[in-house]
Structure 1
Amino acid sequence: MTWNNLKITYKLYFSFGVIMLLAAIVAFWSIIGIYFLINDSESMVKGNNFQSTLKQIYVDHLKWTVNLSEFVMKQNENELNIEKNSHNCAFGKWYYGDERLALEKEVPQLKELLNKIESPHEKLHQSAIKISEIWNSNDSLNKINAIQNIYSNETMKYLKEVGIILIEIIDVSGEHVLTDEHLVSQAKTTNYGVILIVIISTIITIIFVLIMTKGLVNPLKKGVDFSKKLADGDLTVKIDVHQKDEIGLLAHSMEEMSEKLKEVVIAIIANSENIASASNQLSQSSQEVSQGASEQAASVEQISSSMEEMGANIHQNSENAKLTEKIAIKAYEEIIKSNNNVNLTVEAMKKIADKISIITDIAFQTNILALNAAVEAARAGEHGKGFAVVASEVRKLAERSQIAANEINTLSKTSVEIAVKSGEMLNAIVPDIQKTSKLVQEISAASSEQSTGTEQINKAINQLNHVTQQNASSSEEMATSSEELSSQAEQLKDVITFFKI
């Protein structure tokens, strides 16, 4: 994967990592240099301290020797006032203390010399002890010669050896003690190293800045130029960025956006033309619909008037049907009453016929009795003539009564038959009248329902008339809106011409 194809995050991580690494190297080099300077300074301080101590020890021994020499030369002291114990003198305290061990640890080359100086140093102090003992003896005649002899042969000999070894120790320690020139050289080396690393770090940082600038700023400039041209409506512009990091993805997305925008503009141009054409057609259709709605409104008003008249007629028919229903019910009730009266008349005439039958029987019996009376009158002769006349008249009356009774009986039977037929006819008429009454009721109910339906239809027609008028108004508004839409479509086409495709 090339540098340009790396993600910006990785580029930044890598760049800052390198810069931090260089800074760490500079810091590490500086810390190491300072560390060595500190160690060298500590070593130099220790060495200088050792040098000062050794030189002071050397001076102290010289003083010790001077005091001893004065004592030997002057011989006016009662007692030798110098440190005779080799462990308690300044050198002895240092030699048998921790400072000597520290010096041996710091400069191992001195160990042999330090071991070598112990014997002459001890003998030097032994010579001083001998001088002090001889001086304190009673032999005053020979002690001066003895003291001088010891001083010359032993003290000076061992003092010389101790001095030579001390000088060697001082020289050797001086060779291994760091000097100021060494510290300055070490500081310069550290300084030069830091400067060199800083220069290298700066160069590397500049290189990475240039690389990052080339990989980030230049593509961003191209993206800005692309955006400006895109803002000016130039959809033919391309962005020349060939990398796969976030900026490359952004550039690719911007190109895709330009292509999509180009497609949208082309679609808008085509759709605006279609909208303009469709709006014109819609305007014409709206005008036609408006005209048709106006005509429909007029027709609906006529239908509404006709329905109102029809409703009035249906209402009148309903009222007439209700009146007819009442008349039919009343006729049905009268026929029922008449039928009942006919039945009563038939029963009465049957009773009359029965009575007439009785009268006929009486007339028949009377006639028989008259015949018998006439027979008896004929037998009586002259005495029975009057009774015969009466019997003859009674017989005639009986015959006439019988004839009248027969006629009445015949008339009664005929009347009964007629009454029965009338009853049967009335009974036959009653179901028809009932059916007629039911039909009239149904007609009345249907008329009422029809009247209600007519009212609902009339309301619906009124609503339809209102809706039709609204449709007419809406059609006019639609026509106006269509014209405005057509105008806006033309304006949209003019606006879209801003883009170059």
Structure 2
Amino acid sequence: MSWKDLNLAYKFSVGFGSVIVLLVVLGICSVFGIGGIVQDAGEVIEGNKLRGDFVQKIVDHLNWANKVNSLLTDKNINTLDVQTDPHKCGFGKWYYSDARDKAEELVPSIGPMLVGIEDAHDKLHGSAVSIKDKYQPVDPELGSFLREKELDHLNWMNKVLKELMNPLVEKISVQGNPHKCGLGKWLYSAEVKKHSREDPEFGRLVNAILTPHAELHETVEGLNKLLAGGDREEAQDYYSIHAEKAAEKTLAEMDALIKWHNGKLKSLAEALEIYATQTVPALTKVQTVLDEVRATVANNIMTDEQMLEQAEQTKGLIIILSVVAAIAGIFMAWLIAGGILGPLRKSVHFVEQVSTGDLSATVDMHRKDELGKLADGMRNMVGNLKDVVTSVNSATENVASGSEELSASAESLSQGATEQAAAIEEIASSMEQMESNIKQSTENARQTESVAEKAHGQAEQTGEAVGEAV
């Protein structure tokens, strides 16, 4: 069955149904497409957050290691301010929480990697505990400084001795103020006083240097007094008794401080050894695993670019479906409208021809739908009209023939009417005569009635008389 033979209800159903189906498909694609975009966006957000978390964990551990290193290398830092509990650092809190389970659900392949990081992470934080136990706050440059000052004071003693041996020298030209020599400036500095308060042992050793050091420099004044008095030999003896003894005591106390410092350096060296042999390898292992985890997450999680590309594809699909739906709607509208308006125009033209009296007009439309039925009805109507007109024409001819016969009959009737008029006059005359006779008869009847009444009266009287007689 061709399209034109389908009834209008079916055509409308097909047309609107097709558009509705396309709109439903478009709606479903839009819903699923938008749902996919939302899901992708959620995955991207979670993935970016997870990647960011791992990058932050890498940075956090680098900063953690940098703080440990600063303790060992920066003389201005004397306390270890890092988290030593592997369960309480930022990564540890995440590692031992539900967040790790969610991350492994999102990217299952990182599970084995995270299992392998636990031991290294524990060792990393454990090394900080060992370093903290071994570490002793110390200025690594203090030993060199003290040795340099020992050498300075030996040179100081040598210069004093040379001047005492030179008869031309009348005054010792060395620093006689214990506060102004290089060692004295350090001994009486605010830094040393602060350090002495913080470290009692250091303060005790520094205080042990102060007295012999002051006595050493004060010998310059005694020597100059002896030289000024011209007693060079006594000055030389004074040097041997007082200056050398004070110098020996000063250097001995400085050696004690250097020995104490060496002990501190040894502890520092042990802490550095722990840092090099335990902290650094553990940190490297942790950083390596975290980098691998971050890379794995990046490879398994949709990127922003992929999400945008997917969104563009969904957008393109929706646009295509929208265009197809619009084209389909327009086509179906054109097809249905054309299938209705064309036959209607033919029908209207046919009706206009018939309305002018042209019963020979016809409509060239052969369809099995409602419009075809309408055309068939109009053709049947015109056929019936032709039959009616034929019948009317035949009746008209019959009426014309009857009119001629009636005309002849009318003439005959006219002649008969004249004759009847004469007869009627005669009848009228006769009727007048009859009326006169009737009037006479009526009068006679009246007279007869009067006679009868009189006879009746006489009869009654006779009857009464007979009654009386009896």
Q: TM-score, normalised by structure 2?
A: 0.64
Corresponding residue to 2:439 among 312, 316, 319:
312
2:452 equivalent to 1:325: yes
User: Which residue is equivalent to 1:58?
Assistant: 58
Q: Does the 8 Å contact 1:79/1:136 carry over to 2?
A: no
2 CA distance for matches of 1:66 and 1:300?
A: 163
Deviation at 1:180, TM superposition (A): 2.9
Deviation at 1:40, TM superposition (A): 1.4
Q: Does the 8 Å contact 1:64/1:82 carry over to 2?
A: yes
Give aligned-pair identity as a percent: 29
**Partner of 2:2: helix, strand, or coil?**
coil
User: Which residue is equivalent to 1:180?
Assistant: 304
User: Which residue is equivalent to 1:230?
Assistant: 354
- Which shows bigger deviation, 91-100 or 301-310? 301-310
Letter in 1 for 2:452: E
2:341 equivalent to 1:217: yes
Ranges in structure 2 where 5+ consecutive residues have no aligned partner: 138-200, 202-262
Letter in 2 for 1:323: S
Q: Does the 8 Å contact 2:136/2:268 carry over to 1?
A: no
2 CA distance for matches of 1:58 and 1:292?
A: 143
Deviations 1:151-208 (A, max 9, x none): 1110111001001111111111111222232123213322332343344445544543
- Which shows bigger deviation, 149-158 or 320-329? 320-329
1 CA distance for matches of 2:329 and 2:451?
A: 119
Letter in 1 for 2:129: I
Change (3 A) 1:308 1:216: same
**Partner of 1:147: helix, strand, or coil?**
helix
Change (3 A) 1:140 1:335: closer
Deviation at 1:277, TM superposition (A): 4.9
1 CA distance for matches of 2:466 and 2:269?
A: 208
Q: Does the 8 Å contact 2:68/2:128 carry over to 1?
A: yes
1:187-198 equivalent positions in 2, closer than 5 A: 187-198=311-322
1 CA distance for matches of 2:314 and 2:59?
A: 39
Q: Which has the higher contact order (CA 8 A, sep 6+)?
A: 2
Deviations 1:377-416 (A, max 9, x none): xxxxxxxxxxxxxxxxxxxxxxxxxxxxxxxxxxxxxxxx
1:31-430 equivalent positions in 2, closer than 5 A: 31-74=31-74, 77-135=77-135, 140=264, 142-278=266-402, 288=413, 295=421, 305=432, 308-329=435-456
Change (3 A) 1:217 1:117: same
2 CA distance for matches of 1:83 and 1:25?
A: 58
Change (3 A) 1:249 1:33: same
Deviation at 1:268, TM superposition (A): 2.4
2 CA distance for matches of 1:311 and 1:58?
A: 158
Deviations 1:316-355 (A, max 9, x none): 1221211221453466579889999xx99xxxxxxxxxxx
Letter in 2 for 1:64: W
- Which shows bigger deviation, 296-305 or 20-29? 296-305
Change (3 A) 1:312 1:146: same
Change (3 A) 1:332 1:88: closer
Change (3 A) 1:339 1:109: closer
- Which shows bigger deviation, 273-282 or 16-25? 273-282
- Which shows bigger deviation, 271-280 or 25-34? 271-280
2 CA distance for matches of 1:209 and 1:334?
A: 120
Q: How many residues align?
A: 343
Bigger fraction of residues in helix: 1
**Partner of 2:79: helix, strand, or coil?**
coil
Ranges in structure 1 where 5+ consecutive residues have no aligned partner: 345-501
Q: Does the 8 Å contact 2:71/2:78 carry over to 1?
A: no
2 CA distance for matches of 1:82 and 1:290?
A: 154
**Partner of 2:38: helix, strand, or coil?**
helix
Letter in 1 for 2:284: K
Deviations 1:110-164 (A, max 9, x none): 1111111111111101111122233389985743232111111101110010011
Deviation at 1:102, TM superposition (A): 2.0
Q: Does the 8 Å contact 2:5/2:367 carry over to 1?
A: yes
2 CA distance for matches of 1:337 and 1:187?
A: 147
Deviation at 1:23, TM superposition (A): 2.1
User: Which residue is equivalent to 2:250?
Assistant: none
RMSD over equivalenced CA pairs, Å? 3.6
2:2 equivalent to 1:2: yes
Letter in 2 for 1:70: S
- Which shows bigger deviation, 286-295 or 10-19? 286-295
Q: TM-score, normalised by structure 1?
A: 0.60
Letter in 2 for 1:208: M
Deviations 1:19-39 (A, max 9, x none): 111222223223322222221
